[in-house]
Amino acid sequence: MDVNATKIGQIIFVLTIVVVFFTLKFAKGKTTNLPLIGFYAILLNVIFAPAGWIYCWYWSTKPQLPKK
C-alpha cells in the first residue's frame, strides 16, 4: 500500500480549516474572547482531531451570552 504523507497532511490541513471556521461561527456571540477560541480550535485539531470536533460541538450547543 502506498501511503502519501503529503496527501495526508493536506487532508488534515483542510479539515482543520473547516472545523476552525465552524467553531468560530458557532462561538460568535457566545464568548468575549473569539481569538482564543480560534487558537484552541487550531491546537486541538492539529494535536488530536476528534477533540477539535468535540470542541466545535461544544460551542454549537452553548447558549448565547445575554444582551446588555
**Who has greater pLDDT, 2 or 22?**
22
| Rounded to 5°, angle at Cα 48 from 44 and 52 | 45
Task: Tell me what the mean pLDDT of segment 1-24 comes to.
Answer: 90
Arithmetic mean of pLDDT, 20-26: 95
Instruction: Report phi then psi at 63, rounded to 5.
Output: -75, 160
The pTM of the full predicted model, rounded to 2 decimals, is: 0.85
Q: What average pLDDT does the segment 22-39 reach?
A: 93
Predicted confidence (pLDDT) per residue in 39-57, tens digit: 999 999 989 989 999 999 9
Indicate if the pLDDT at residue 59 is higher than 90.
yes
**DSSP-assigned letters across all residues of 21-37:** HHHHHHHTTT-S-HHHH
**pLDDT at residue 25 in the model:** 95
